[in-house]
Chain A
Amino acid sequence: MGAMEKAASYRFDLTRYAWVRRLLTSRWPQFILRAVTLAGFMLVILTGFIGSPVGSRNFAVMFVWIAWWSALKLIMLPFGGRVWCSICPIPMPGEWLQQGWLVKPGGKKFNLGLRWPRRLRNTWLQSAGFAAIGLFSALALTTPVVTAWIFVGLIIVAVVVSVVFEQRSFCRYLCPMGGFIGLYATMAPLELRPQPDLTSVEKGAAVREWPRGCPWINNPAALKANANCGLCLECLRTESGESMALNARSFDAELGQPGAFRLDEAFLSLGLLGSVMIYSAVFQGPWGALKNAALYAGSPAWWGFAAFFLLTSFGLLPALLAGVSALVRRTGNLGQPLQMVFTRFSRALLPLGLLSWIAFTVSFAFGKMAYLWPVLSDPFGWGWNLFGTAAVEWQPYLLNATPVIEAVLLVAGLIWSGRTVLKTAGQLGVRGERRWAAAPVLLFALAGTLILLWLLIG
């Protein structure tokens, strides 16, 4: 292995430090954080329903779509992967019903324990959920009541699913954010994996025990990818917990290695790329007709927008990538089926997607951060001043620097995806001297990058 490869696959076990392991295995820190996020969730629903209808003065809109969503995409996801899922409050009430206790599993259960239907054990429902919210995003992002209804819907569905199905089936197969977070967690520098030196005996023992202990319905002993591990840390708390490690790793550690990628994941990867382009056009562009089409749900213009959104993200982009994949397959004389070539290249485009979303967030959120201060003092928009910040006037934060930041992010995403595309091409069988055979996919990535550059800083 070359020096770069060695660096890329280096892992640093954070749980080798006893205090780290104690912190993670203790239930209290995570519980307290989740109790706080649950209170926040309730506050969102409350302010959404009875607070001011003016979005910029309402806790629901500001702290969900500006504070939390930006923190997720700028910090939690790129640096921690699924770390939000470990403190997410949505499944909490359902888990309490399942476990019968708040903190520790055990006790009477309200749970039918059904297994999730086999046909739906993929990300199609999550793509649908994400797309559904996307279609109403102009409405949700500006209307507190709609945000509140979305949250109410999420918690009701989560509770019902928790009572009927096993463990965190909602999180794994249904949560609209879960698909987004899971796929991009592939590039995170944090992972939960079995210790590399586990003997097969230990693995076997773990296999018997862990299916009960892993709420995300994984076999931790066989965990190879971040996408479906919700960092709930339950496996660390079982008797075989010592066999699991929380590793810090390089950003490219998982993506740089060949990895399986299903068709539904490929569509989600491209759908997210298409979504960020459309979001950029709707929210950051100067086109009023498009914004109004996205806002007035139910109007003829909105149906046109919905059709455009869905057909582009889940139709046009996959079709284009399939086309260039077929081209690469022909010119590179690859033996794998087209579906495999297509899905592997979709996986290689994940960095472009993640960095595009980060660039979009920089463009979208920085201009609105200043509204967070008044909302802290006056979450309901009733004229309160709890912390004295209610009269803080809007000011621009870093607006001068955002074009450069966005440009750097998008180019970095292109380069990272480009390298991964070439690696993938090689893994698929394109020989070194014929690297140009992978050019069509690189051009696809370049086109996507140029479109995003034009939408955000053009």
Chain B
Amino acid sequence: MEKLAKSLVVVLILLVVAVPLLGRLTTSQPEIVELRARMPENGGWSQEFIYGQVDVPIKLRMTSDDVVHGFALGQSSQPSVEIFPGKFSNAELIFDQPGEYTFYCTRWCGANHWRMRGTIVIEGPTTADQPTSVPPLFLQLGLDLDAPHLARVIPQNRPDSARARARANALPAGLTDGDTIWSNSPEALWIDLKADEALDDQVIWDMVAWGLNQQGSPGWLEQGRELYTQNCLACHGESGKGDGVMVRDLPPMNHDKMGSEATRPPDFSDPAVLLGASPALLEGKIIRGGMGTGMPYWGNIFTSEQIRSLVLYLYRFQMELTEKP
């Protein structure tokens, strides 16, 4: 009788202890990487580095320990995967070139959301043709990203690229040259055009807007809007004023002294800010980040095409730009 009782207790306790251990052993597969997502305050990704080989699939099994996260690969067209607390999501990655790739979190998980990144290190033989990497335009031009760039010439009304379209035949040739547009601020373009053309100030601003608009690749507006909404809005705000929910407690930006402490973003609704910045400058800031001001660096997250769409989208805070100019 006593033996029966003892065996019952032993069996029950063994069951309780053995089931999870057996479960762990039988369900864990060595080739699956278990990645846990946590807010950066709680540790961030459980693995900062994931190692793999060329052409060997990496299987990820992901879950979150606190809030909603997401997983995506930088500079990749693979769709992001949502990661819910307590639920498991899977992703399979395969790389055909060795190198370092960035993975990052795609759902806002607090003020440090953008820091939630990791690296996938792929080893293996390189194939013959590797595209040579071109340095970004701001480096080629030697731009000082932290120098003040407030415009002094301001348009009376919002520049409208559609108004300029009506005079398409009379538009100067320089306005279609990509290098020119990307390397100069709208104010600089305006000053150049004003010197050559004897036209109304507003008309010239419209032409500058048209010139910028030409640089948009198909689908840029939607792409720019999506990127801005998912990545930038929370800090830069719905109207670009720099009043997003994430930066409420920060001091306002000082344009003269771009320091290295976190401040609010600049006010894009102020014409002086955007019109004095060349697309190359904006592209550079997006790529490099803010050196301690809190602006994240996106160089290894977005492709050049994405960044260009985003830059054009930013100008929409000051100009009317459309999908098909």
Q: Are A and B direct contacts in the complex by CB distance below 8 Å?
A: yes
Residues of A within 8 A of B (CB): 31-32, 35-36, 38-39, 42-43, 46-47, 50, 52-54, 56-57, 101-104, 380-384
Q: How far is A38 from B13 in the complex, measured between Cα atoms in Å?
A: 8
Question: Is the pair B88, A39 in contact by a Cβ cutoff of 8 Å?
Answer: no
Q: Given the known inter-chain contacts A52-B65, A383-B63, please indicate yes or no for A35 contacting B8, CB distance below 8 A.
A: yes
CA–CA, A32 and B12, complex, Å: 10
In the complex the two chains form, what is the Cα distance from A39 to B65 in whole Å?
26
With a cutoff of 8 Å between Cβ atoms, the chain A residues found around residue B125 in the complex are none
Sample of 29 A–B contacts (CB below 8 Å): A31-B8, A35-B9, A38-B9, A38-B12, A38-B13, A46-B17, A46-B20, A47-B20, A50-B20, A52-B65, A52-B86, A53-B65, A54-B65, A54-B86, A56-B85, A56-B86, A57-B86, A57-B87, A101-B2, A102-B2, A103-B1, A103-B2, A103-B5, A104-B1, A380-B20, A381-B86, A382-B23, A382-B27, A383-B63
The CA-CA distance from A382 to B86 in the complex, in Å, is: 8
In the complex, the answer to whether B63 meets A35 with C-beta atoms within 8 Å is no
Q: List chain A residues, Cβ under 8 A from B88.
A: 383
| Residues of chain B contacted by A47 (CB below 8 angstroms) | 20
Check if B16 sits within 8 Å of A39, measured CB to CB: yes
Q: Out of A50, A102, A382, which one reaches B5, CB within 8 Å?
A: A102
In the assembly, what is the distance between CA of A31 and CA of B88, in Å? 39
Chain A residues closer than 8 Å to B87, beta-carbon distance:
57, 383
Contact among A42, A52, A382 for B13, CB-based, below 8 A: A42
In the complex, chain A residues whose CB is within 8 Å of the CB of B61: 383
- Chain B residue at smallest Cβ distance from A383: B88
Query: In angstroms, how far is the closest chain A Cβ from the Cβ of B93?
Result: 20
Q: Which residues of the partner chain A approach B1 to less than 8 Å between Cβ atoms? A: 103-104
Interface 1/0 per residue, B1-19 and A, CB below 8 Å? 1100110110011011100
Q: Which residues of B contact A35 (CB under 8 A)?
A: 5, 8-9, 12
Q: Known A38-B12, A39-B12, A103-B2; judge A54-B85 contact (CB<8 A).
A: yes
Q: Which 5 pairs, one residue from A and one from B, show the smallest C-beta to C-beta distance?
A: A57-B86, A39-B12, A54-B86, A383-B88, A102-B5
B308 to chain A, nearest CB (A): 40
Q: For the complex, what is the distance from the CA of A31 to the CA of B12, rounded to whole Å?
A: 13
Instruction: State how many angstroms separate the Cβ of A148 from the closest Cβ of chain B.
Output: 13
Contact: B13 with A39, CB < 8 Å?
A: yes
A382 to chain B, nearest CB (A): 7
From B15, B24, B63, B86, give the contact of A39 (CB < 8 A): B15
Instruction: State how many angstroms separate the Cβ of A289 from the closest Cβ of chain B.
Output: 17
Which residues of chain A are within 8 angstroms of B64 by Cβ–Cβ distance? Answer: 54
**Chain B: how many interface residues by the 8 Å CB criterion?**
24
A31→B5 contact, CB < 8 A: yes
Whether B23 lies near A46 (C-beta < 8 A) is no
Task: List residues of chain B with CB under 8 Å of any chain A CB.
Answer: 1-2, 5-6, 8-9, 12-13, 15-17, 20, 23-24, 27, 61, 63-66, 85-88
| New contact pairs (20) apart from A31-B8, A384-B27, CB-CB < 8 Å | A35-B12, A38-B13, A42-B17, A46-B17, A50-B20, A52-B63, A53-B65, A54-B64, A54-B85, A56-B85, A57-B86, A101-B2, A102-B5, A381-B86, A382-B23, A382-B24, A383-B27, A383-B61, A383-B63, A383-B87
CA distance A54 to B88 in the complex (A): 12
Residues in A whose Cβ lies below 8 Å from that of B9: 35, 38, 102
B15: chain A residues within 8 A (beta carbon) = 39
- Chain B: CB-nearest residue to A57: B86
Shortest C-beta distance, A157 to chain B (Å), equals 20
Q: Taking the nearest CB of chain B, how far is it from the CB of A170, in angstroms?
A: 20
Closest A residue to B20 by CB, please name it: A380
Smallest beta-carbon distance B15→chain A, Å: 7
A37 CB to nearest B CB, Å: 10
Please give the distance in Å from A193's CB to the nearest CB on chain B.
29
Minimum distance in angstroms from B44 CB to a CB of chain A? 15
Chain B contacts for A39, CB-based, 8 A: 12-13, 15-16
Closest chain B residue, CB of each to CB of A104: B2
* Bound CA–CA A75/B20 (angstroms): 31
B194 to chain A, nearest CB (A): 55
Residues of B within 8 Å of A54, CB to CB, are 64-66, 85-86
- In the complex, the answer to whether B16 meets A43 with C-beta atoms within 8 Å is yes
Please pick, from A50, A57, A102, A104, the residue contacting B6 in the complex, using a CB distance under 8 A: A102
Nearest CB of chain A from residue B250's CB, rounded to whole Å: 21
A43 CA to B15 CA in the complex, in Å? Answer: 10
Residues on B with C-beta less than 8 A from A380 are 20, 23
Q: Are A46 and B16 in contact (CB under 8 A)?
A: yes
Minimum Cβ distance to chain B for residue A373 (Å): 13
| Contact present for A384 and B17 (CB under 8 Å) | no
Q: Would you give the shortest CB distance from A41 to chain B, in whole angstroms?
A: 9
A427 CA / B16 CA spacing, docked (Å) = 54
Per the bound structure, the CA–CA distance linking A384 and B88 in Å amounts to: 10
Q: Min CB distance, A92 to chain B, in Å?
A: 9
Question: Which residues does chain A contribute within 8 Å of B23, judged by CB atoms?
Answer: 380, 382, 384
Best-buried of B16, B24, B61 by chain A (most CB within 10 Å): B16
- Could you tell me the distance in whole angstroms from the C-beta of A33 to the nearest C-beta in chain B? 11
B27 nearest CB across to chain A (Å): 7
Residue of B nearest to A379 (CB): B20
- Complex Cα spacing A38 to B6, Å: 13
Q: How far is the CA of A380 from the CA of B88 in the complex (A)?
A: 13
| Bound: A23/B66 CA distance, A | 48
Contacts of B17 in A (CB 8 A): 42, 46
How many whole Å from B112's CB to the nearest CB in chain A? 18
Contacts of A52 in B (CB 8 A): 63, 65, 86
Q: How far is the CB of B253 from chain A (nearest CB, A)?
A: 30
For A47, the closest partner residue in chain B by CB is: B20
Tell me the minimal C-beta distance from B184 to chain A in angstroms.
Answer: 49
Residues in B neighbouring A384, C-beta threshold 8 A = 23, 27
For A93, the closest partner residue in chain B by CB is B9
The docked-state distance in angstroms from the alpha carbon of A39 to that of B15 is 8
Question: B259 CB to closest chain A CB, in angstroms?
Answer: 31
Residues of B within 8 A of A104 (CB): 1-2
A457 to B2, CA, bound (A): 53
> Nearest Cβ distance between residue B28 and chain A, in whole angstroms?
9
Complex alpha-carbon distance, A101 and B6, angstroms: 9
Query: Which single residue of chain A is at the shortest CB-CB distance from B7?
Result: A102
Question: Most chain-B CB neighbours within 10 Å: which of A31, A32, A382?
Answer: A382
Say whether, besides A53-B65, A102-B6, A103-B2, A42 and B24 are in contact (CB < 8 Å): no
Residues from chain B with Cβ under 8 Å of A102 in the complex: 2, 5-6, 9
A251 to B65, CA, bound (A): 46
Closest B residue to A390 by beta carbon equals B87
CB distance from A98 to the nearest CB of B (A): 15
A25 CB, nearest partner CB in chain B, Å: 15
Question: How many Å from the CB of A203 to the closest CB on chain B?
Answer: 32
Cα(A409)–Cα(B183), bound, Å: 74
A36 B86 Cβ-Cβ under 8 A: no
Task: Kindly name the residue among A31, A42, A50, A102 whose own CB sees the greatest number of chain B CB atoms within 10 A.
Answer: A102
